[in-house]
Structures are given as structure tokens and as C-alpha cells.
Amino acid sequence: MTTIAITGATGQLGRLAIAALLARGISPIALARSPQKAADLGTEARTFDYTAPDAAALKGVDVLVLISSSDFDDRAGQHRNVIAAAEAAGVGRVIYTSLLKGDASPMQLAADHIATEAALKASGLTYTILRNGWYLENLTGSLGAVLAHGAVIGSAGEGRLSAAARVDYAEAIAATATTSGHDNAVYELAGDSAFTMAEFAAELGRQSGKTLRYDSLPEATYADILIGFGLPEGFARILANSDAHAATGALHDDSRTLSRLIGRPTTSLADAIKQALASL
């Protein structure tokens, strides 16, 4: 049986990926900086830190899922550390969660992913690159504040976003980790149905019964507002930059590769908003 390990196992995507594998009857190894936080995952946990990964933690691993680090302090360097550990441990294949469009993306957020893809290809390891589009949760995670202020803000203009839910991307991880035919493949993954942020505001208004508008702001103005909300400056500017490039199509993809991989339609905008409103 193939042994699968997942880095960042206690993160939001990692937890969902482990659940998706367990649903397929596969018990992956959860790799986490604090294994005690993985005690509720129902599978073996090993200590693993992106900044100093121990190749011994990858002993016996056939497929390593490298979920991109959430630490923006030299993410590419952290990923190279993991790739080196995978080489040393003799891992058979690495699945990496990258960014939609990869080296063709103009977003600042893409730089670390571009560097990681290059390092993975240069390593000689067999790889599968999952270029994930935007998460619906990036938009629905702050609905309480949006409803309180009566407006959705950003810098995406009339750009169309092909967003999907984390669970959709997690199922893509499980699908490519447990089936053949994905050696050295690169997949552009995104939601089936694209929408503008004005359409997002309209759907949220329809479901909440409130009149909402979308205010598209200059990138710098939006970044300053995010900083005012308490986000770290660097992260706020990366988010604002991502939004601004969404205006020109950086987060749009109509290939439907994700739904084909997971064997079902991706989560719709309406369903994502419904779920988020139910949790308020």
C-alpha cells in the first residue's frame, strides 16, 4: 500500500486533505510542527518543521504532499528545505500546492510558488503540481464585518474570479495522491463558475436580505484599509496586490480541471455563502 504524508497537517487545508484521504480508506501520516495538535486527526503524526525538516520523518513515505507554508518569511526557502528532505528520504513523488497560472501569474503572491516549482523540477523528484485558484473562504471568512458595514471592498474591479472551496482543493490532493497518471503533471485548479465581486455582493445581499454594494478601490487604498483592520503590512499589501491583478484575470480559469479531478462540480458561490451565513 502507498504511504502518503502531508505537511502542514494541522492547517485548514491539511486537515481537510487528511479527512479526504481517510474517507478513501487511506490513513496518511500527518506532519506537523506540533504533533500534539494533530491528535484529533485520527492518524499517525510525526514532528516536521519547514524551517528544519528531518528526513527521518519521511522514512517509508511514497507520496509527500507539500502544502505551501503559511509563514511568509522565506517561504521558498522553507519549501526547498522540504524538497531536500524528500530527496534524502527517497520519497517517490511530491505533490505541491502552488498558485493558479504559476509562472504566468503577475501576482506578488506567485513569486514563492514560482521558485518552489522550479526547485521541485530541478530536484529530479517525480512531482505533481496543483496550481490552486482562490479559496471561496477568502471571501466568505469576513461576512460578519461585511454585513455590518453594508459594503464589500477590494480592488478587483470587474475581474472574474474562479474560486472554489478548500474542501474541493483538498479532494484534489486526495485524488492525485491515491491514483496513477499524475507523474510530472501540472494542473490548473479553479472553480467551475466564475463571478465578479459585484456578483458576490449581490448574492450575499440576496441571501442576507441586505442591500450591499461592491466598492473597488485603488490597490494602495485597499492595502491601507486592511492594515487598519489589523493585518500585518506585508500580508495586507500582498492581498491588495492579488485583488488588483484579479481585475485583469489572474484568478480566472475556465478549464474545469478541478471538477474533473474530484469527480463532481466544485462548490458554488451560493452554497459557500449559505454555509458561511449559517455559521455566523
13-32 pLDDT, tens digit per residue, is 999 999 999 999 999 999 99
Residue 206 makes CB contacts below 8 A (sequence gap 6+) with none
Structural domain includes residue 249: no
Structural domain includes residue 247: no
Residue 90 makes CB contacts below 8 A (sequence gap 6+) with none
Structural domain includes residue 90: yes
Range of the domain at 128: 4-133+164-189+254-266
Give me the number of domains the chain comprises. Answer: 1
Structural domain includes residue 143: no
Q: What's the CATH code of the domain at 21?
A: 3.40.50.720
Distances from the Cα of 138 to the Cα of 46, 92, 142, angstroms: 29, 33, 8
Label residue 105 by pLDDT band (50, 70, 90).
Answer: very high
- Burial of 278 (C-beta count, 10 Å sphere; 0-12/13-18/19+): exposed
- Give me the pLDDT at residue 72, please: 82
Quickly list H helices, 104-256: 110-123, 137-140, 143-149, 166-178, 197-208, 219-228, 233-246
Q: What is the mean pLDDT of the chain?
A: 97
Note the pLDDT tens digit of each residue in 34-68: 999 999 999 999 999 999 999 999 999 999 999 99
The CB density around residue 70, as the number of other CB atoms within 10 Å, is 12
- Separation between Cα atoms, residue 96 and residue 112, nearest integer Å: 12
- Give me the pLDDT at residue 128, please: 98
Residue 271 zone, left/alpha/beta (φ > 0; ψ -120 to 50; rest) = alpha
Q: Which residue is associated with the grid cell 480508506?
A: 25
Q: Which residue is associated with the grid cell 442591500?
A: 211
Structural domain includes residue 125: yes
By the 8 A CB rule, do 163 and 251 touch? yes
Mean pLDDT for the stretch of residues 82-95: 98
Structural domain includes residue 176: yes
Label residue 159 by pLDDT band (50, 70, 90).
Answer: very high
Structural domain includes residue 79: yes
Structural domain includes residue 18: yes
pLDDT value at 71 more than 90: no
Note the pLDDT tens digit of each residue in 176-187: 999 999 999 999
pLDDT value at 73 more than 90: no
